[in-house]
Amino acid sequence: MIVYILCFILFLVGLYGLITRRNLIKIVISLSIMEFSIFILLVLIGYIDGGIAPIVSEKIVNPTYVDPLPQAMVLTAIVIGLATTAMLMAIAIRLYRKYGTFDIREIKNLKG
């Protein structure tokens, strides 16, 4: 049970950073930390004590596999996470070129 709670604390750290930081790069880092906590939570839920990796082999008699469904879902989510991070980074570097700062409050003031 303690591992679930630690995952949740990792999520809360990411959420805190997302709301209170003002630097765009740190906001992106917080988002990816939240993503990582969700990945590890999903895989933890699918784990079974004494289970083996979900690959069929005829040599093993009467095996117990860990749940393959969360692993398949997380596999797609990891690649999507990379795509969103790259996109946010592109937006951040473009904003830096236009305004000369990563501070979101400055960017808000400069508008118009």
Partner 1 sequence: MSLIVKKVAQLITGFVFLYGIYIIVHGHLTPGGGFAGGAILAGAYILQILAFGRDPLHLKKKETGSSVSESVAIFLVLMMAVAGFFIGAKVFFNNYLPTGKIGELVSAGAIPLYNVLIGIEVAAALLTIFLALIIYKEEIEE
Partner 2 sequence: MELTLSILLGFMIIGAIFALHAKDLLSAVIAAGIVGYSLVICFLLLKAPDLAIVQIVVETITLIIMVAVVLDSTRQELSVKIDRQQIINISLAVIFMLVLVFFFIQAINTLNPFGEHSLRMASAYVGETASKTGSANLVTGVLFDFRGYDTLGEATILFTAAIGVLTILRIKGKK
Residues binding partner 1: number (CB under 8 A): 16
66-75 long-range Cβ contacts below 8 angstroms, 24+ apart: 70/42, 70/43, 70/45, 70/46, 71/43, 71/46, 73/42, 74/39, 74/42, 74/43
Those residues with Cβ within 8 angstroms of residue 26's Cβ, 6 or more apart along the chain or in another chain: 17
Of 22 and 110, the one with the shorter C-beta distance to partner 2 is 22
Chain-centroid distance of CA 42 in Å reads 11
Of 9 and 89, the one with the shorter C-beta distance to partner 1 is 89
Q: Of 38, 46, 99, 107, which lies in the binding site for partner 2, with binding defined by CB under 8 A?
A: 46
For residue 82, state whether it binds partner 2 (rule: CB under 8 A). yes
For residue 61, state whether it binds partner 1 (rule: CB under 8 A). no
For residue 76, state whether it binds partner 1 (rule: CB under 8 A). yes
- AA identity, residue 110: L
Q: Which positions touch partner 1 (CB under 8 A)? A: 53, 55-58, 75-76, 78-79, 82-83, 86, 89-90, 93, 97
